[in-house]
Chains A and B, each alone.
Chain A
Amino acid sequence: MIVRGMFNTPNWGWQSPFEEMEAMRRRIDHLNRLFTGDSSTARAGAGVFPLINVTEDKDNYYVRAELPGLQADALEISITGNSLSLSGNREIAGEAAEAKYHRREREGGKFSRVIELPEHVDSDRASAKMKNGVLTITMPKAESAKPRQIQVK
């Protein structure tokens, strides 16, 4: 997991009220987790990479992950039961040797994330594509997990 360091930038006085709110929000999230046992309240962007959305329709589950600058072959995706594992190495190409950096916020390196899906999926028919730095993984639902209409006789 890459800590993106978004909140590690040096702070100036005027920013402190926002910092305070951030700290308060963390405390509330912590309480939420304590009481509900739910980890999904963790806020997006706070040190989690990549950011993901998980959706479903009638036939498939979809995971979309934001992986800017990543080459498709630097990515490893595996599915076991209902857990999807996403890992890879993000390399940030350096500029010419004589160039000097004035600002370097993008962070490369290894990352890995495991996503629990609500149901089992058919891993043999899963597919993935990359577009504009967004990875989309389509996973057909296992037959047993599909909604079944029950006929009333």
Chain B
Amino acid sequence: MARFFETGFPFEPGFWFEGADFPTLDVSEGRKKITVKAEIPGMDKDDLEVNVKGNLLTIRGEKAEDREEEHEDFFHRERRYGSFHRAVALPAEVDPDDVSASYKRGVLKVTLKKQKESSPHKIRVRAA
């Protein structure tokens, strides 16, 4: 059921954009921050929207058709355009005022600062 909340309501626009999991993304957690990298090639950075609410990160956008292709004839077409939307649960609480996002080579990188540094609690296994 957890997946339901991550991929969005099935009838929302953009759900069919390249299957349910567009854009493809990595979520990694360091000691102080969480990094999310999403593959969204061919975007204009102004058409990307990143939102953080609680521990939910939402990436949405509108991928416009390639302007250069407008005056050309198609032989073969695989690239998808249109609006997309993906929300992902973050592994820790983050500071919503300390989020940075950059777009480079078709990859969106979002860096979020964690509220608390993580100090994994080790549990010793004792011999009985």
Specify which chain A residues have a CB less than 8 angstroms from the CB of B74 in the assembled complex.
53-55
A35 interface residue per 8 A CB criterion = no
The answer, among B19, B78, B106, for a CB contact under 8 Å with A53, is B78
Q: Do A68 and B107 have beta carbons less than 8 Å apart?
A: yes
The answer, among A40, A52, A69, A130, for a CB contact under 8 Å with B107, is A69
Q: Do A118 and B75 have beta carbons less than 8 Å apart?
A: yes
- Residue of A18, A105, A115, A136 with most chain B CB atoms under a 10 A cut-off: A105
B25 interface residue per 8 A CB criterion = yes
Interface of A is mostly: loop
Specify which chain A residues have a CB less than 8 angstroms from the CB of B39 in the assembled complex.
68-69, 106, 133
Q: Do B107 and A101 have beta carbons less than 8 Å apart?
A: no
Cα distance, A113 to B30, chains bound together (Å)? 36
Cα distance, A69 to B31, chains bound together (Å)? 25
B104: shortest Cβ distance to chain A, in Å? 8
- Say yes or no: A132-B41 contact (C-beta < 8 A), given A45-B18, A105-B26, A106-B26: yes
A134 interface residue per 8 A CB criterion = yes
A5: shortest Cβ distance to chain B, in Å? 9
Number of A-B contacts (CB under 8 A): 137
B71 interface residue per 8 A CB criterion = yes
Q: Do B28 and A12 have beta carbons less than 8 Å apart?
A: no
A139 interface residue per 8 A CB criterion = no
- Residue of A14, A40, A103 with most chain B CB atoms under a 10 A cut-off: A103
Category for how many chain A residues contact B: 35 or more
Cα distance, A133 to B37, chains bound together (Å)? 14
A70: shortest Cβ distance to chain B, in Å? 7
Q: Do B1 and A51 have beta carbons less than 8 Å apart?
A: no
Q: Mark B residues whose CB is within 8 Å of A.
A: 1, 3-4, 10, 18-21, 24-31, 35, 37, 39-44, 66, 68-69, 71-80, 88, 91, 103, 105-107
Q: Mark A residues whose CB is within 8 Å of B.
A: 4, 6-7, 9, 12, 14-15, 18, 40, 44-45, 48, 51-57, 61-62, 64, 66-71, 92, 95-96, 98-106, 115, 118, 130, 132-134, 136
